[in-house]
Amino acid sequence: MRYTAPPTKSRYVITFLTPVRYAEPLLHVVLKQARPFIFYRWARFYLDMAADTSSKRTSIQAQLATAETLCRERGKRLTPIRRQVLQILLEQGRSVKAYDLLDEIRRIHPGAAPPTVYRALDFLIEEGLIHRLDAVNAWSACLDAGGEPHDLLVICTGCGAVAEFSDPALSKQLARKVAAAGFVLGHHETELRALCNACHAQAHGETRSAHEHRH
């Protein structure tokens, strides 16, 4: 029985009905035709990734330079260990737990002890270069240490992402509400636990999947 290829709108569509002896040569033709396009896409991907990495590195170096300047103007020293802790937090770009931070430090300084890291963290907090996030028991770098003080921090409890805001009017309104209830705010930064859009979508999708599975 003679084989007749199924009709299609494309010259290079391979279906499951196509016998191997016909599909293999056709696949070689498709790959040959597509090779320049595939190479371009991969090249573009790696160039974009390299550009993003270079841009992030430049931004981190600028933030470290700002921290150096602020410390010098205040008569303080950004010692190597303090700078390293700050750099790790900047590179992470999210909240980091103490043990994770210590692990990262020990990759560079194998003999680093917890008290040394905690002292560095305390210094960076005092200078406004990082945030202590009580809501998730972690730390994050302040991404705008040279700008206005931040009084509102939103922390994703899923991935640890942190958003910084400055809204004095909202903070004053919150302080009045707290005072009316018979309390006094103990910190100038208010923390809100939330889910970023990506984590919310993932959690919503998993919940929905589990619900559909039960039914």
pLDDT of 21 strictly over 60: no
Ramachandran category for residue 210: left, alpha or beta (phi over 0 → left; psi -120 to 50 → alpha): alpha
**pLDDT value of residue 14:** 39
AA letter at 201: A
Q: How far apart are CA 3 and CA 6, in angstroms?
A: 9
Tell me, letter by letter, the H, E, C secondary structure of 90-122: HHHCCCECHHHHHHHHHHHCCCCCHHHHHHHHH
pLDDT of 9 strictly over 60: no
Of 26-30, 99-103, 125-129, 143-147, the range with the lowest mean pLDDT is 26-30
Where do we find the tokens 């700002």? 66
Work out the pLDDT band at 120, boundaries 50, 70, 90: very high
Q: In whole angstroms, what separates CA 83 from the centre of its chain? A: 20
Tell me the H-state helices in the chain. 20-73, 80-92, 98-108, 114-126, 168-180, 197-214
pLDDT of 89 strictly over 70: yes
Work out the pLDDT band at 110, boundaries 50, 70, 90: confident
